[in-house]
Amino acid sequence: MPDESPERKPASSWTQERQRSAQESLVRSSDDDFELASRGLIAPGSPRQVIGRYGQPVWDLDAYEFLDDADAARNPPNTVSPSLWRQGRLNNIAGLFEVTPGIFQIRGMDISNVTFIAGDTGWIVVDPLTSEETARAALAMVNEHRGERPVHAVIYTHSHTDHFGGVYGIVTDDDVRGGTVAVIAPEGFLDAAISENVLAGTVMIRRAMYMYGVLLPKDPTGHVDTGLGKGMPGLPSVGLCPPTLSITTTGEEVVIDGVRLVFQITPGTEAPAEMNIYLPDHRALCVAENCTATQHNVYTLRGAQVRDALLWSKYIDEAIDLYGAEIDTLFASHHWPRWGNEVINEYLASQRDAYRFVHDQTLRLANHGLTMNEIAETLELPASLGEEFFNRGYYGTVSHNAKAVYQRYLGWFDGNPAHLHPHPPVAAATRYVEFMGGAASVLEQAQRYYDLGDYRWVVEVVNHVVFADPDNVAARYLQADALEQLGYQSESGPWRDFYLTGAMELRSNGTVLKGLPGNALGSGIVRSMTPELLLDLLGVRLNGPRAGHFAIEVNLEVLDRATESWTFGVANATLHSRRARRVPRPDVELRVSMGHFAAFASGSKSLAELVGEEFQVEGDRDRLEEFISYLDQFQFGFEIIMP
C-alpha cells in the first residue's frame, strides 16, 4: 500500500542493498586521501561558526559534526551513498595546513580553499573564498599561526564566485587604488565573472538552490556534501574587486614580494577565464579548479554554458608537458594537495584522460547513431580511470558529462522528428495520464514499481500525474518518496541535493521561496558591471507581448564613465542599443551613475526613488514610466518539481 505521509523516509531494502554493494566496490588496496587531506595540519578550523551580517552562521563546522562520528566512519548511514559519505568526511577535514614550506591553505572553511603564499614581507593570496566573512576569518587564522603579515597581492585563478567573492574580507579598495595590493586574474576574468550570473541570474540561482541543497537540513537524510566541498556559505557578503593586472599569455612571469609566479592560461576549461600558477622556487603547481578530487562538471546542473572537455584535457596535458618534470607539490582551490613527482604526474595524466575519454567516446557513440540518453546510459570510465577516487562522480558524473559533450556538438535535438515538437509538460502529462487509465491506475502501477525498487521509472511516470494535477497529494508523496531513494543512492552531491530538494518541495506543496525577489544584484558586483551588460539585462526584462507597439528612444550618459555614452530604445517589442551614439531627437535623456543605472536595470528601485543627482531625467518622463511598466520583475519562487 502507498505510504501517504510527508515525512522523510528511511532507506528502502533496495537502497540498503545498493549501498552494501557500493560499499564493497569502495575497498581499495590503497586509499591515502585521508592522509593527504590531513597532512601538514597546523591548526583545526576555527572559529566553529563564522557569523554574518544578519547574525546568521555563514559557515558552521558544528552543522557537519555528524560526519565525524567515529562509528559512522566504519558504518555509513544507509541513507547516504558510502562513496559520497567518504568524500563528505574528507571535505570535513577543516583547518590551516602547510602545503609546502612557504605555502599554506585554509580548507573546509568555505566550499573552496584559500591559499596563502609567504613572500619576503607579506602574503600573496590565491582565491579569497566565497564570502568576506570566511575570508576575513581565514586571514586572521593564518596571521595568528604564522605571524601577522600584510597582503601584497590577490590572485583570482578563475571567474567563479567561490574564488573571488570574499576579496573584501582581505583587502580594501584603497589598498588596491593606492597600489599596495596587486589584483591579478586571467584575461577575460571580469566579463566572465559578471556576465555568467546576470542575464540568466534568477533561474540559475533558483536551480543552484536545488544543486547545492541550501534549503535542506544538514543531516544523514539531508544535505551531506556537494562533492566539491561541504556546502555553500549561508547568506554570504560577496564582492568583486576588479583586477589590476590581466594575464594574457602562458609563460608570463611576475615577481611579487620576492615570489616568482609563472602563469599558464587555460581559458574555456572549468571556467571561461582560468589559469594555473607555477611556482618554480617551490617546485609547486596550483591547478586552480582544473584538477580536483572529483570528476568535475562539463555541464553544471544549475545551468550554465557547457564546457569543452577536449580543450580541458589538452590544457591538463600542456601543464604536464610544461611543468611535470619540475614539480613536487600540486595544490588546487578545492580539495587536498598531492605530493611527489610521480604521484602528481600520474594524477594529472589520469584526469587528462578521464575528460578526453568522456569527450571522445561520447562522439564515437554519437557517430554510431546513439542519442544523448543512450550514450549516458552506456558510458563508463575504463577501470584504470574509474577506480581512482578522484575521477569518480562526486560533483560531475560520466552520465551528465556525456550529455554535455553531446549538447556541445549536437544540441538538444536528437534528430528523431517525434521529439521535434512535443506537447509541453502539463499538456503532455494530462494526455499521458488519460491514456494510462487515469491517475489512480498510474499510481497503483507506479507503487508496484516502487516496491520493486525501480525508482527511476516511478519518477518518470508519476511526474505526469503531478503535472496533470498538482493537488493529487498521493501522487506528490509517492513522487517524493521515489526521488528521496534516488537521492540516498546518488554518489554525486548535486544529484543527491537535486533529488532531495525535489522531494522536500513536493511534500511541502511547492517552494517556500514564493514571493522572494529574484535577480538581486549585490552592490559589490554591480560596481564592476558594464553599461552594455545592464542594457542587455533590460532587454531580458522587457515583456515583449505587453510592450506591443510601444516605442521609445533614449540617450544615455554614464556620469562615472566619462567616455561612455549610449543610445537605447524599444521597437518591435524588442530592446536595441548602441555604444557611443546619440539620436538627434530622443524621447528621454538620461544622465546616471553606474550604481543608479544598475538599480534601474535590475529593477531594485522605482523611478521616483532614483531620480536625483545620480539619475537625471530630461524629456518625456511619462514615456519612461511606461517603458518601466513593461519591465518584468523576476522572483525566485517559481516551481520546478511541480507545474
Shortest separation between residue 439's beta carbon and Zn ion, angstroms? 43
Q: In this complex, which beta carbon is closest to Zn ion, that of residue 12 or of residue 492?
A: 492
Strand bridging mode 284-286 / 329-331: parallel
Q: In this complex, which beta carbon is closest to Zn ion, that of residue 289 or of residue 587?
A: 289
Shortest separation between residue 130's beta carbon and Zn ion, angstroms? 9
Residue 388 as a binder of Zn ion (CB under 5 A): the answer is: no
Residue 274 as a binder of Zn ion (CB under 5 A): the answer is: no
Euclidean distance between CA atoms 607 and 592, whole angstroms: 12
Which range touches Zn ion (CB under 5 A), out of 134-142, 240-248, 285-293, 455-463?
285-293
Q: In this complex, which beta carbon is closest to Zn ion, that of residue 169 or of residue 569?
A: 169
Q: Under 8 Å CB-to-CB from 282, ≥6 apart: which residues?
A: 100, 101, 102, 103, 329
Q: In this complex, which beta carbon is closest to Zn ion, that of residue 163 or of residue 496?
A: 163
Which range touches Zn ion (CB under 5 A), out of 108-116, 371-379, 512-520, 550-558?
108-116
Query: Given its phi and psi angles, is residue 187 left (phi above 0), alpha (psi -120 to 50 degrees) or beta?
Result: beta
Pattern 515-554, Zn ion, x by CB under 5 A: ----------------------------------------
Q: Which three cell numbers stand for residue 134?
A: 570566511
- Omega into 643 within 30° of 0, i.e. cis? no
SS3 call for 631: strand
Distances (CA, A) of 333 to 29, 150, 252: 28, 22, 21
Give the DSSP H/E element, type plus range, for residue 294: none
Q: In this complex, which beta carbon is closest to Zn ion, that of residue 87 or of residue 112?
A: 112
Determine the residue with CB nearest Zn ion: 162
Q: Under 8 Å CB-to-CB from 334, ≥6 apart: which residues?
A: 111, 112, 113, 228, 229, 289, 292, 293
Q: In this complex, which beta carbon is closest to Zn ion, that of residue 165 or of residue 569?
A: 165
Q: In this complex, which beta carbon is closest to Zn ion, that of residue 160 or of residue 464?
A: 160
Residue 523, Cα to own-chain centre: how many angstroms? 20
Shortest separation between residue 277's beta carbon and Zn ion, angstroms? 15
Size of the site for Zn ion (CB under 5 A): 4
Shortest separation between residue 240's beta carbon and Zn ion, angstroms? 15
Q: Does residue 630 contact residue 494 with C-beta atoms inside 8 Å? A: no
Euclidean distance between CA atoms 155 and 140, whole angstroms: 18
Shortest separation between residue 333's beta carbon and Zn ion, angstroms? 6
Residue 162 as a binder of Zn ion (CB under 5 A): the answer is: yes
Q: Which three cell numbers stand for residue 66?
A: 555528524
Residue 110 as a binder of Zn ion (CB under 5 A): the answer is: no
Interacting residues with Zn ion between 206 and 265 (CB under 5 A): none
Q: In this complex, which beta carbon is closest to Zn ion, that of residue 112 or of residue 131?
A: 112
Which range touches Zn ion (CB under 5 A), out of 105-113, 144-152, 479-487, 587-595?
105-113
Q: In this complex, which beta carbon is closest to Zn ion, that of residue 209 or of residue 468?
A: 209
SS3 call for 617: strand
Shortest separation between residue 438's beta carbon and Zn ion, angstroms? 48
Q: HSE on the CB side for 474, CA within 13 Å?
A: 11
Q: In this complex, which beta carbon is closest to Zn ion, that of residue 232 or of residue 439?
A: 232
Q: How many residues does the chain have?
A: 643
Residue 196 as a binder of Zn ion (CB under 5 A): the answer is: no
Which range touches Zn ion (CB under 5 A), out of 145-153, 206-214, 250-258, 289-297?
289-297
Q: Which three cell numbers stand for residue 641?
A: 518539481
Q: Which three cell numbers stand for residue 597?
A: 543605472
Residue 497 as a binder of Zn ion (CB under 5 A): the answer is: no
Q: In this complex, which beta carbon is closest to Zn ion, that of residue 240 or of residue 459?
A: 240
Euclidean distance between CA atoms 638 and 643, whole angstroms: 9
Which range touches Zn ion (CB under 5 A), out of 91-99, 107-115, 175-183, 580-588?
107-115
Distances (CA, A) of 228 to 162, 224, 291, 431, 633: 11, 11, 11, 41, 33
Taking CA 374 as the corner, what is the angle to CA 373 and CA 377, rounded to the nearest 5 degrees? Answer: 85
Shortest separation between residue 226's beta carbon and Zn ion, angstroms? 10
Q: HSE on the CB side for 476, CA within 13 Å?
A: 19
Which range touches Zn ion (CB under 5 A), out of 27-35, 106-114, 469-477, 516-524?
106-114
Which range touches Zn ion (CB under 5 A), out of 91-99, 112-120, 600-608, 631-639?
112-120
Q: Which three cell numbers stand for residue 359?
A: 569527450
Supply the DSSP symbol for 550.
-
The residues of the shown chain that bind Zn ion, judged by CB under 5 A, are: 112, 160, 162, 289
